[in-house]
Amino acid sequence: AQTVTQSQPEMSVQEAETVTLSCTYDTSESDYYLFWYKQPPSRQMILVIRQEAYKQQNATENRFSVNFQKAAKSFSLKISDSQLGDAAMYFCAYRWDSNYQLIWGAGTKLIIKP
């Protein structure tokens, strides 16, 4: 069965510094997608970044980038130049290509220290 694990329940970082959130997953599929979603205190779930498994190049969206290690089944999120607005719960999610359901990790709470 596919699973997603986020081993860090909480992380903190100083404003303007860089932080990396970890995610590992387990699957026997070869074609799949990985996502990082952000849930701020408003609880609105927002897509941060996505990665297609067939792409070797790591996805990047402005200050957000991923380190995708397919063989290790690892998908970490790096946030550069952390801002106060980045404070939120961050969820890692997985979807395999032939199915539209998402499998979710338990989330990491990110605290930004001013």
Partner 1 sequence: DGGITQSPKYLFRKEGQNVTLSCEQNLNHDAMYWYRQDPGQGLRLIYYSQIVNDFQKGDIAEGYSVSREKKESFPLTVTSAQKNPTAFYLCASSTLTSGRNNEQFFGPGTRLTVL
Q: Is 106 in the site for partner 1 (CB under 8 A)?
A: yes
Q: Is 82 in the site for partner 1 (CB under 8 A)?
A: no
Nearer to partner 1, 50 or 70 (CB): 50
Shortest distance in whole angstroms from residue 28 CB to partner 1: 19
Shortest distance in whole angstroms from residue 75 CB to partner 1: 14
Among 26, 30, 47, 81, binds partner 1 (CB under 8 A): 47
What is the DSSP secondary-structure string of the chain?
Answer: --EEE---SEEEEETTS-EEE--EEE-S-SSEEEEEEEE-TT---EEEEEEETT--SPPEETTEEEEEETTTTEEEEEE-S--GGG-EEEEEEEEETT----EE---EEEEEE-
Residues that bind partner 1 (CB under 8 A): 4, 9, 33, 35, 42-47, 50, 52, 91, 93, 97, 100-102, 104-107
